[in-house]
Copies of this chain bind each other. A is one copy, B any other.
Amino acid sequence: MPQNNRVLLAARPQGEPRLDDFRFDVQPVPEPAEGELLLQVVFVSLDPYVRGRMNGGKSYAKTLEIGDVIEGRTVARVLASRNLGFAPGDWVLGRAGWQTHVLSNGEGLRKLDLSVAPATAWLGVLGMPGLTAYAGLLTIGKPRPGETLVVAAATGPVGSAVGQIARIHGTRTVGIAGSEEKRRALVGEFGFDVALNHRSPTFATELAESSPRGIDVYFENVGGHVFRAVLPLLNDFARVPVCGLIAHYNATSEPSSAPDLTAELLGRILRNRLTFRGFIVSDFADQQAAFERDMRRWIAEGRVKYREDIVNGLHACPQALIGLLRGTNFGKLIARLSDG
């Protein structure tokens, strides 16, 4: 009889999550009832948005309660099924979270054809991060030939797709990452025109020099000092899809020591006729089919490359999420929970 190993929210993190904000437990795995199926999770996706779910209060989605299984998209195999839609051995995409086994009635599950793409791709370049990049960039960012796009966290699954999709549209791309190794990969592996390390003491100057004709699209997924460096460089009519703010996710409610940019930001929005628009991936669910068609073609043509960072075992997940928020991973972070 298999057992379900789970990771639960033990405490709401204050600032950066600590290992004791997570709690491991083991539960018996019940038999599927009529209409149900039992899943064994093979891969779970670790994503920055999960940090927001660990806080209390209002967000764009229900936050986790203490004792809940940590949230995450998963690729799983069907172990046993009493549901006519699924057979043992099927691969399915779902949202089982950080646990090894789960019962399902089939709702919200999608059967995957692994001959089309490997299991992990459905959590990254062909999954939620890929659609986030595609829809946010094309719908809000509207990159045009000859324009300049800037994106940070640019070796990550969203940032690397944003840069490569913009390049396909004829846009000059400036990628920002947090290490020299990543910086080199931006140009060598992902085809960015320019790559910068935001930890450089002269980062703001380097960014200005990298964009001598200004910035037309800033795909915002980090906030913080990168945003502050980008703001004065935005051209008239620049577009800023606001997709994430990873630099702020561990922020506490301590007053910021940074200067108040509000008046400066509103003034630039006015004078330069900027557009800032926030979005989350579910706002663009209707683009799923177009996204998968385009992205599969671009991957097949070698025009979109992706990198994965796979850690092993449920026990690795808390530290891996902490590292993700620090930027220590390199590529789409996924945990392998079983051999599938």
Give chain A's interface residues, CB within 8 Å of chain B: 58-60, 220, 223, 227, 236, 242-245, 248, 251, 255-256, 258-263, 265-280, 283
Contact = CB atoms under 8 A, between A and B. Distances in A.
22 contacts: A60-B271, A60-B272, A223-B263, A227-B262, A242-B266, A245-B263, A245-B270, A248-B267, A255-B260, A256-B260, A259-B260, A260-B260, A261-B262, A262-B262, A265-B265, A269-B277, A270-B278, A272-B278, A273-B280, A274-B278, A275-B275, A275-B277
A266 B245 contact: yes
Most buried by B among A236, A244, A270, A276: A270
Contacts of A269: 242, 276-278
Contacts of A271: 58-60, 278
A47 to B, nearest CB: 14
Contacts of A278: 268-275
B248 A266 contact: yes
Nearest to A276: B276
Contacts of A274: 276-278
B275 A276 contact: yes
Given A248-B267, A260-B259, A283 B273 contact: yes
- Would you list the 3 A-B pairs with minimal beta carbon distance, nearest first? A269-B278, A261-B262, A270-B278
A265 B248 CA distance: 12
Nearest to A273: B278
A263 B283 contact: no
Most buried by B among A58, A220, A273: A273
Given A242-B270, A274-B278, A259 B255 contact: yes
A266 to B, nearest CB: 6
Contact of A220 (B261, B266, B272, B277): B266
A227 to B, nearest CB: 7
A224 to B, nearest CB: 8
A266 B227 contact: yes
